[in-house]
Structure 1
Amino acid sequence: MAHLYNKDKRTALEAKHLAQLIAHGPIVFQVAKVLRDKGILRIIEEARTGITLADITAKSELSEYGVRVLLEAGLGMEMITVDEEGKYYLAKTGYFILHDALTNVNMNFVHDICYKGVYHLEEAIETGKPAGLKELGNWNTIYEGLSQLPSQQQKSWFEYDHFFSDIAFPRVLKHVYKPENQIKKLLEIGGNTGKWALASTQFDKEVKITIVDLPGQAAMAKKNIEALGLSERVDFYPANVLDENVQFPTGYDVVWMSQFLDCFSEEEIVSILQRCGKAIHEEGAIYILEAFWDNQRFETAAFCLQQLSIYFTAIANGNSQMYDSRVFKKCIEKAGFDIVEEIEGIGLSHTLLKCKKRQLH
């Protein structure tokens, strides 16, 4: 993937146009979202033979002025087209804004979680602190406040997070719980709402799981687990893994971390991995499911991950990112592990790493 960035691919005219899109980025985003949320794109789509400004206005119950400025901005964004008779049609970009699940998950996450906070990016870069987090709440990291977010913001955050893992989990479950792995006890670091634990207990009828997460997150997962009557197979270890003095429970065959270590700096990743090593026996393994921008099949996927890193910088914690796999693997090596398996192309964007303690000869 990195070879895509070896040279400038655009003509001067194309580059200048892109520069203007970037310069107007916040306006472009809000126009697209309002066109979607106010039903204007859907009105245009449903009028398959084209529709006039007057008819769109009548159906939308908005003012003609409001509809007109949105439509004209949408033309420049190539979301819609207009013919010589003044009839509007939905363009391909407008279709994806309206219907594409990935686009909508991204848009909602950016609007509800990132939009105001990213205004403070420069301060975050200068200080190494999540300067934009104050737009959401008074916490040190966003993870401390997830259980306290307003319902709409919480919905957008978890829908974004789960969108990618839900697609990856079916394939990963078959790999992690292969009979030869003989997993009886699994330690999950960063259990979120308990989705992996729930999927695991349904896939493997014997495995027992311990979830380590912040108290607020652990409480959310516990509520979901108890609702399904699985308390005997899933227990909880509330803790702040950022605290290097926090040691994880021991005696496990496997440690599992999904979309978790990207929430931490390189130094923190090393610390967490070293403590994971103490939680498993000598032949135990650590499974890491992550999305690395340099491992993507498509440039669009890499772009999404590269931009998501800014959320971590400005809002989440100030010092983590969606990693280049080469940077991430150095952390694994520094923590004293070898990567014994690597599977790319899982779900939309993920790579599964199986790590074992480095054997000294």
Structure 2
Amino acid sequence: MNTFSKDKQTAAEVFEYAQWISFGPIIFQAARAMRNLGILDAIIKSGRKGISLEDIARETGLKEYGVRVLVEAGIGMGLVHEKEGKYTASKVSFLLQNHELTRVNMDFTHDVNYLGAYYLEDSVRNGKPEGLKVFGEWATVYEGLAHLPEKVKESWFNFDHLYSDDAFPAAYRHVFKYEPKRIMDIGCNTGKITIKFAQYHPDVKITMVDLPNQIEMAKKNIERHGLQDRVEYYPTNLLDPSNQLPKGHDTIWMSQFLDCFSDDEIVSILKRCHDALTDDGYVYIMEPFWDRQEFGASAFALQQTSLYFTAVANGNSQMYDSRVFLKLVDKAGFKVEEVVDGIGMCQTILRIQKK
């Protein structure tokens, strides 16, 4: 991807962009307030004829002052156009109001990251998620995930699932092309992919691996689908290098899991996968590598998501550049058999095997 190889802006655009960054947090909160308070909706519904400040205030039940400062900020952001005292919506407003991906990204930024991002500088200095303390005293967000406030948890899972769910149908085809008998789903989260694998093939056996709290949440979903006879549970913390993985699996699946770990931790986990995997088996890794995205906006979103890992999640992982990641795969004793881009919204599947 050559999108980031050089400047493409004029001098005036560079200056304007610098101001956008300077006011970025305020811009974000103003746009979010316009969405949540119904201001954007009122302007969008007015169509081409537009709507006055007085009418926006009446429709939303807000004071005209509050409407005025937000709408004027919206003009500067390019969300709102003004002509003769009437306000109309830009195309960006439609995305903020109605586009699922944009809505999920905004909620994730606000509910999960906003307060913690204040401590980003400390997190970089200390190599720890210093922003996580706004929610609780855990070493990583994964340990406290089940205990996060409900709105935070909802936005976290909405973000996590949106970026992976539409990739699953293609994933089934790739994984079952080699007729696996026993699959280990590492980082099983809520059990969604395990359920899909089990429903896709009636005979496959699956072992779910994750932290104890996550396993308990996933177990309820497995039982709800009546799949408990085909699924085993292996609660463990893979941050501890002494914790090994169960042997006897011909397939290991990891979806958006290894981006939750540092370089050295990824190598450690992959080495334990190497020990656990049958000699002719495969490991499938599905990750959204930012350098393998077709569109610059996708790469941008993934690059910024890395800062969530830095400030809130664990302090040492990221959405990886595939060139960095593939070196870790090699270091762990694997060779890459296949790389498939364009899976779902933004995913790449790596199929790797023992050297």
**What TM-score results when the alignment is normalised by the length of structure 1?**
0.97
2:88 is the counterpart of 1:80: no
Displacement of 1:195: 0.6
Q: 1:41, 1:94 within 8 Å by CA — same for their partners in 2?
A: yes
Matched residue type, 1:300: A
2:233 is the counterpart of 1:236: yes
Secondary structure, aligned partner of 1:246: coil
Q: Which residue number corresponds to residue 135 of structure 2?
A: 136
Query: Structure 2 CA distance, aligned partners of 1:229 and 1:350?
Result: 29
Equivalent residues in 2 for 1:103-114, closer than 5 Å:
103-114=102-113
Equivalent residues in 2 for 1:311-322, closer than 5 Å:
311-322=308-319
Displacement of 1:346: 0.8
Where does the alignment leave 5 or more consecutive residues of structure 2 unmatched?
none
Query: Structure 1 CA distance, aligned partners of 2:78 and 2:172?
Result: 41
Which of residues 291, 294, 299 in structure 2 aligns to 1:297?
294
Q: Which residue number corresponds to residue 4 of structure 2?
A: 5
Q: Superposition RMSD on alpha carbons, in Å?
A: 0.7
Secondary structure, aligned partner of 2:167: helix
Displacement of 1:280: 1.3
Which of residues 287, 300, 310 in structure 1 aligns to 2:307?
310
Q: Which deviations, in whole Å up to 9, do the C-alpha atoms of 1:234-293 show, x marking residues without a partner?
A: 111000011000001110010000000000001000000000111111001100000000
Q: Which residue number corresponds to residue 218 of structure 2?
A: 221
Q: 1:301, 1:349 within 8 Å by CA — same for their partners in 2?
A: yes
Equivalent residues in 2 for 1:1-361, closer than 5 Å:
1=1, 3-48=2-47, 49-83=49-83, 85-178=84-177, 181-358=178-355
Q: 1:209, 1:234 within 8 Å by CA — same for their partners in 2?
A: yes
Query: Structure 1 CA distance, aligned partners of 2:299 and 2:225?
Result: 37
Between 5-14 and 316-325, report the one with greater CA deviation.
5-14
Matched residue type, 1:107: M
Secondary structure, aligned partner of 2:92: helix
Secondary structure, aligned partner of 1:8: coil
Secondary structure, aligned partner of 2:228: coil
Query: Structure 2 CA distance, aligned partners of 1:155 and 1:6?
Result: 37
Q: Which deviations, in whole Å up to 9, do the C-alpha atoms of 1:195-224 show, x marking residues without a partner?
A: 100111111111111011000001000011
**What TM-score results when the alignment is normalised by the length of structure 2?**
0.99
Runs of 4+ aligned structure 1 residues displaced above 2 Å come to none
Displacement of 1:334: 0.1
Q: Which deviations, in whole Å up to 9, do the C-alpha atoms of 1:317-337 show, x marking residues without a partner?
A: 000000000000000000000
Q: 1:271, 1:335 within 8 Å by CA — same for their partners in 2?
A: yes
Displacement of 1:182: 2.0
The number of aligned residues is 354
Q: Structure 1 vs Structure 2: percent identity of aligned residues?
A: 52
Displacement of 1:160: 0.2
Query: Structure 2 CA distance, aligned partners of 1:233 and 1:142?
Result: 30
Secondary structure, aligned partner of 1:247: coil
